[in-house]
Chain A
Amino acid sequence: MSQLLPASVRDNGTVGDRIVNDFCITFSTVNGSGSATANTILLKSLFRMGIPVNGKNIFPSNIQGLPTWYSIRLSKKGYLARVEMDHLVVAMNPATLATEMKFLVPGGVLFYPDDFKLDIERDDVVLYPMPVKRLVKEADAPQNLRDYMANMVYVGVVAQMLGIDLDVVYQVLDAHFKGKKKAVDSNWQVILAAANWAKENLVKCDPYYVEPMPPLEGYIITEGNVASALGAIYGGVQLTAWYPITPASSLAESVMEYLPSLRTDPDTGKATSVVIQAEDEIAAIGMAVGAGWAGLRAMTSTSGPGISLMAEYLGLAYFAEVPVVVWDVQRVGPSTGLPTRTAQGDLTFVNFISHGDTEYVILLPGNVKECFEFGWKSFDIAERLQTPVLILTDLDLGMNYHISPRFDYPDQPMDRGKVLWEEDLQKILEKLDGKWGRYLDVDGDGIPYRTVPGNRHPASAYFARGTGHDEMTRYSEDPDVWERGLNRLRKKIHNNLHLLPEPVIERLEGAKFAIVGFGSTDPAIQEARDLLAEAGFPTDYMRIRSLPFRDEVCGFLHEYDRTYVVELNRDGQLKQLLTMNFSECGSRLRQVSHIDGMPITANWIKERILLMEGK
């Protein structure tokens, strides 16, 4: 099939201005065909060329056969949110061609295998057919690998047509297969053959180009779940109990991947951290709570349905004052919902989780660097406050590749909190005339001292329970004891909010209103602020990073007549919590809810806010 030129090119004989390092390319494939490797290699090659990139995997809840998309956005300005339209599409799945065409911009580019029956009505698209079958056959790939190799054809063709440095592609390929020569060579052969074929047979008639930029010094590329796992490991996690669930599985799996090299004691050759796959999420949190109670840095990782199951245990951990860290990599709910799509719909649930009066420390990382940082800090906070810490990320942050400044090594020593071993206990007993009790507020900060099993001091033991207890851990139904205990739990957390990450506040000259958000929406909000400023609406911005809210949050809200709260849920959950906490600001908050399961875009935020501004 011959190459077709878009009408504009045919009529004018020109391609138009070059568009360099500022476009989106989407790969449409069939789930299970092995396209992830091909897409990741292209993404990382672009990153290695110094171009800010972000990859978003839009995949089905399926192992094999359903359509899947991977979008790479290149942005020389460093905008890393999703965009709504594609500039180039690599269509490897004939079943979704019509969908692809809906999102391809005028003048856009379509790469496709030359045996596809193209049935498109648009004449404003550059068509690049690729002889996929022939090139794979010529590469003499084994039958069982031909589908995978087919993806390498588009790596080669796209690299050639956009100007991606093939040497860099080779380096990334080599790193991807960890230097396994056979895998590297067989893939490279196909990529090279495809690139050469494109060079000889395709005439470039689209405006999209890749050009190297100054190296992104000090930057890395990784997924949020990997960053979270590393954070936990550098935070000294000792027990991880988990149950498989999308999109959280790769968090615990990354812990397992890194533990042998990072947490084997060089002196003894023994493991200093264990991972247990539990029978369900109730058992997973149960194991983590048991371990936390007994003095281990313990955690579990899950998503919405698992969090629902963990409700009862979290209430027990709150009330019995057990440190434990729980990761919730959010997906779309309610119910099973959309397991492979992203959302921020668990915020109010985890804030109020479990019956009775409860309250939780919640951390809200907004990028992979914070996944790492909050990963280790969460244990310090949990052990200092003797309480569960929940960390909310989401599928977009957790499972997609993000570029990021390198992670900083923890800048504080571990804080193991008020734990008494034998000698400490002896000292405190002497100081208090023998009157130490597990729930006694000795220091007046609401945080008692605790002992842990394994302490052999005869006065160390106590009986932990979810039932009413006094300061000395005795069962009690006394009304005063109950009230006193519950109030101390509140004081314990609220007296120590300075331990939690403060909100990030950014301002622009002349801002008339503000935007508030949290988590993975940050890149889209940042870009939207630039778009709004260009349209004459400079904004201030607060990204909340923890709950309960610190004082800065309240102060910020008071400054503006109008604050748009941007979040990925239907009911405006952050806005609800802000209204509840700062009722005097409630009427000034405006809900901006994005709920279709896709990562939010800057354009959508800008349009929605302008609409609500009456523009």
Chain B
Amino acid sequence: MTTQATPRTQVNLAGLSRADYKGHNSTLCAGCGHNSISNQIIAALYELNVVPENVVKFSGIGCSSKSPTYFLNRSFGFNGLHGRMPSLALGALFADHTLKGIGISGDGDTASIGMGQFKHVMRRNLPMVYVVENNGVYGLTKGQFSATAEVGLELKRQGVNKYFPVDICMEALVSRASFVARSFAGDPKQVKEIFKAAFSHRGIAVIDIISPCVTFHNKEDSFHSYTWGKEHEIALHDITYVPAREEITVEDFEEGSTREVTLHDGATIVLKKLERDYDPTNIFEALRVLYEAEQNNWLLTGILYVNPDASTIFDMYNLPDTPLNRLPTEKLRPSRESLDQIMEQMKF
């Protein structure tokens, strides 16, 4: 007699299967870099054993901002206004400081209309991952220049771009973001590892991901294309994210060729030296390598800067352990006596 094995779904330490992290089917173009990013977010959160109910998703407007529906169906999400996602996220996360935010934005949403809110959420160090799916073009309105488009880029119906591009990582750095990285949608392994590190970071974590638009902006010689990216990507380091409970095995990382950064929750990012030694805790170095990359026409990827000890906005407020949105009404309305007292004072 033979017994048939029951098919068993593989689960992570949270007891969840990969399906528990899925979203709806994407309605973006086939081959869009954004879809690849959504898949890596799913993979990263599955591997991190994150409970989806502990995450809240936010986005603005644009192709990028549709993508929060393509992952984590079991997480709350709010697709808000163009360029105004940071303020929405800030208000919402104050309701329950134990939640972790994931914001998905685009280059138009962040670097054009949303530049102000982007920079202010950096200086407030709101604990969330802020992903910019950066393709240098407005996709949803069918192909106009964005503020990250390179000088000289030619688009059908738009002509040639005249203006200097915004470098999102540089803007994040000078606004004192506490975690700044750049990646390339065509390098999914790196996207995943950086996302894991960003998610574990306590503070704002910006990941500028060059994510080619296959429909409106994928010329082979363009900065935001797959071909150009694959040919010009220079990774600062190989990144491995090691959760707090896993030991770092020595054989994987030879002594002298790695640099470790311990994140707030005890997890470690191990940056394996490639051609250069790079200190991701040095903001001047980060700005310098970005400038160098720009001068040399490189797509420089990796974790550019991290300050694991920066105070978050929640450290600046005297918040209770109980999430604010769980406080019972008796904690919210001051006593009758206190009003009597104020009324007495107002007799003068």
User: What residues make up the interface of A, taking CB atoms closer than 8 Å to B?
Assistant: 44, 48, 171-172, 175-176, 219-222, 230, 233-236, 238-239, 241, 258, 261-265, 268-274, 276, 278-280, 282-298, 312-313, 316, 320, 376, 406-407, 409-410, 413-414, 416, 451-458, 460-467, 475
Is the pair A312, B95 in contact by a Cβ cutoff of 8 Å? no
Flag whether B7 is at the interface (Cβ < 8 A): no
Of A221, A261, A283, A416, the contact of B84 (CB 8 Å cutoff): A283
- Contact A220 B333, beta carbon cutoff 8 Å: no
Q: Tell me the complex Cα distance, A280–B323, Å.
A: 26
Interchain nearest-CB distance for A190 vs B (Å): 20
A414–B333 CA distance with the chains assembled, in angstroms: 8
A261 to B338, CA, bound (A): 9
Residue of A nearest to B323 (CB): A454
Q: List 16 A-B contacts (CB under 8 A).
A: A261-B338, A268-B321, A271-B317, A283-B86, A286-B87, A287-B90, A290-B87, A295-B325, A297-B332, A312-B81, A451-B76, A453-B56, A453-B92, A463-B79, A464-B77, A465-B78
Q: Tell me whether B258 is interfacial, beta carbon within 8 Å.
A: no
Find chain B residues with CB under 8 A from A284 CB.
Answer: 87
Contact A288/B91 with A313-B84, A464-B78 known, Cβ cut-off 8 Å: yes
User: In B82-99, which residues have CB < 8 Å from any A CB?
Assistant: 84, 86-96, 98-99
A-B pairs, top 5 by smallest CB distance, nearest first, are A286-B87, A290-B91, A236-B332, A294-B95, A295-B325
Chain B residue at minimal CB-CB distance from A294: B95
B347 within 8 Å of A by Cβ?
A: yes
B348 touches A44 (CB 8 A): yes
CB-contact partner of A454 in B73, B325, B331, B343, under 8 A: B325
Asked if B326 CB lies within 8 Å of chain A CBs, one says: yes
CB distance from B235 to the nearest CB of A (A): 34
Which of chain A's residues have a CB closer than 8 A to the CB of B342? 230, 258
Among A171, A271, A453, the residue within 8 A (CB) of B95 is A453
B31-57 vs A, CB cutoff 8 Å, 1 = contact: the mask equals 000000000000000000001111011
| Closest A residue by C-beta to B82 | A312
Q: With both chains docked as a complex, state the minimum distance between the C-beta of A232 and any C-beta of chain B, in angstroms.
A: 11
Question: Contact mask B300-328 → A, CB, 8 Å, 1/0?
Answer: 00000000000000000111110111110
Known A234-B333, A262-B334, A461-B73; contact A291-B92, beta-carbon cutoff 8 A: yes
B91 near A291: Cβ-Cβ < 8 Å? yes
Assess whether B120 is in contact with A279, with CB atoms less than 8 Å apart.
yes
- CB pair A458 B53 closer than 8 Å: yes
Residues in B with CB closer than 8 Å to A409 are 336, 339
Query: B140-158 vs A: 1/0 string, CB under 8 Å?
Result: 0000000000000000000
How many interface residues does chain B have, given as a range? 35 or more
> Given A274-B317, A286-B88, is A295 in contact with B81 using a C-beta cutoff of 8 Å?
no
Q: A220-B347, A287-B90, A463-B68 are in contact. Are A279 and B81 (CB under 8 A)?
A: no
Tell me, yes or no, whether B112 is within 8 Å of chain A by CB.
Answer: no
C-alpha spacing A457/B73, complex, angstroms: 13
In the assembled complex, the Cα of A282 lies from the Cα of B57 at a distance in Å of: 20
User: Is the Cβ of A286 less than 8 Å from the Cβ of B348?
Assistant: no
The answer to whether B92 touches A460 (Cβ under 8 A) is no
Closest to B20 in A: A458
Task: Tell me the smallest distance from the CB of B338 to a CB of chain A, in Å.
Answer: 6
Q: Distance (Å) between the CB of B230 and the closest chain A CB?
A: 33
Is the CB–CB distance between B81 and A294 below 8 Å? no
B317 & A290 in contact (Cβ 8 Å cutoff): no
Q: Which residues of A contact B343 (CB under 8 A)?
A: 220, 406-407
> Out of B69, B84, B92, B96, which one reaches A463, CB within 8 Å?
B69
Interface contact A296-B95, CB-CB below 8 Å: yes
Is there an interface contact between B95 and A295, defined as CB atoms closer than 8 Å? yes
Query: In the complex, what residue of chain B is closest to A275 when comparing beta carbons?
Result: B317
Report which B residues bind A (CB closer than 8 A). 51-54, 56-57, 68-69, 73-81, 84, 86-96, 98-99, 116-117, 120, 317-321, 323-327, 329, 331-334, 336, 338-339, 342-343, 345-348
Shortest beta-carbon distance from B344 to chain A in Å: 9
CB-CB under 8 A from B120, the residues of chain A are 278-279, 283
Contacts of A463 in B (CB 8 A): 57, 68-69, 76-79
- Which residues on A sit within 8 Å (CB–CB) of B329? 236, 413-414, 416
Contact B318 A222 (CB under 8 A): no
Please tell me if the beta carbons of B346 and A462 are within 8 angstroms of each other in the complex.
no
The docked-state distance in angstroms from the alpha carbon of A290 to that of B93 is 8
Closest to A292 in B: B91
**Known A-B contacts A270-B318, A316-B80, A461-B76; A454 and B96 likewise in contact (beta carbons under 8 Å):** yes
| Given A278-B87, A293-B78, A296-B94, A272:B116 Cβ within 8 A | no
The CA of A273 and the CA of B325, in the complex, are separated in Å by 10
**Contact B91–A454 (Cβ < 8 Å):** no
- B111, chain A: closest CB distance, angstroms: 17
Which single residue of chain B is at the shortest CB-CB distance from A291? B91
Closest to A453 in B: B76
With beta carbons under 8 angstroms apart, the residue of B77, B79, B99, B332 that contacts A238 is: B332
Collect the chain A residues with CB atoms within 8 Å of residue B346's CB: 220-222, 406
Is A286 a contact partner of B84 (Cβ separation < 8 A)?
A: yes
Complex: chain B residue closest to A261, CB-CB: B338
Contact B69 A475 (CB under 8 A): yes
Contact: A172 with B333, CB < 8 Å? no
Q: How far apart sit A278 and B84, CA to CA, in the bound complex (Å)?
A: 12
Q: Pick the most buried of A172, A219, A453: most chain B CB atoms within 10 A of its CB.
A: A453
Question: Within 8 Å CB of B53, what residues of A?
Answer: 455-458, 460-461
CB-CB nearest in chain A for B336: A409
CB of A402 to closest CB in B, whole Å = 11
| Contact, CB under 8 Å: B117 / A452 | no
Q: B61: nearest residue on chain A (CB-CB)? A: A466
CA distance A533 to B137 in the complex (A): 70
Measured CA separation A482–B54 after assembly (Å): 31
CB distance from A313 to the nearest CB of B (A): 6
The answer to whether residues A465 and B319 also contact, given A220-B343, A222-B346 and a CB cut-off of 8 A, is no
Do B81 and A270 have beta carbons less than 8 Å apart? no
Partner of B79, one of A265, A270, A458, A467: A467
CB distance from B25 to the nearest CB of A (A): 12
In the assembly, what is the distance between CA of A261 and CA of B117, in Å? 32
Residue pair B69, A274 in contact (C-beta under 8 Å): no
Closest to A295 in B: B325
Knowing A234-B333, A271-B319, A454-B323, the reply to whether A466 touches B91 (Cβ < 8 A) is no
Bound-state CA distance A171–B73 (Å) is 64
Kindly state the separation between the CA atoms of A129 and B9 in the bound complex, as whole angstroms: 95
* Residue picked from A48, A171, A279, A475, most chain B C-beta under 10 Å: A279
Contacts of B52 in A (CB 8 A): 461
The 8 Å CB contact of B333, one of A296, A312, A410, is: A410
Q: In the bound complex, what is the Cα–Cα distance between A313 and B74 (angstroms)?
A: 25
Establish whether residues A272 and B317, one from each chain, have CB atoms under 8 Å apart when the complex forms.
Answer: no
- Distance in angstroms from B132 CB to nearest chain A CB is 18
Q: In the complex, which of the residues A234, A271, A280, A466 contacts B320, with contact meaning CB atoms closer than 8 Å? A: A271
A410 to B78, CA, bound (A): 33
Closest CB in chain A relative to B244 CB, distance in Å: 22
Other-chain residue from B77, B94, B317, B325 in contact with A461 (beta carbon distance below 8 A):
B77
Contact B69 A287 (CB under 8 A): no
B334's contact among A172, A263, A297, by CB below 8 Å, is which? A263
- Kindly provide the distance from the CB of A292 to the nearest chain B CB, expressed in whole angstroms: 7
Name the A residues within 8 Å of B76 (CB-CB): 451-453, 455, 460-464
Report how far A222 CA is from B74 CA in the complex, Å.
49
Contact of B332 among A48, A272, A291, A466 (CB under 8 A): A272
* A313 and B318 contacting across the interface, CB-CB below 8 Å: no
Cα–Cα distance between A297 and B75 once the two chains are bound (Å) = 22
Are A452 and B334 closer than 8 Å at their CB atoms? no
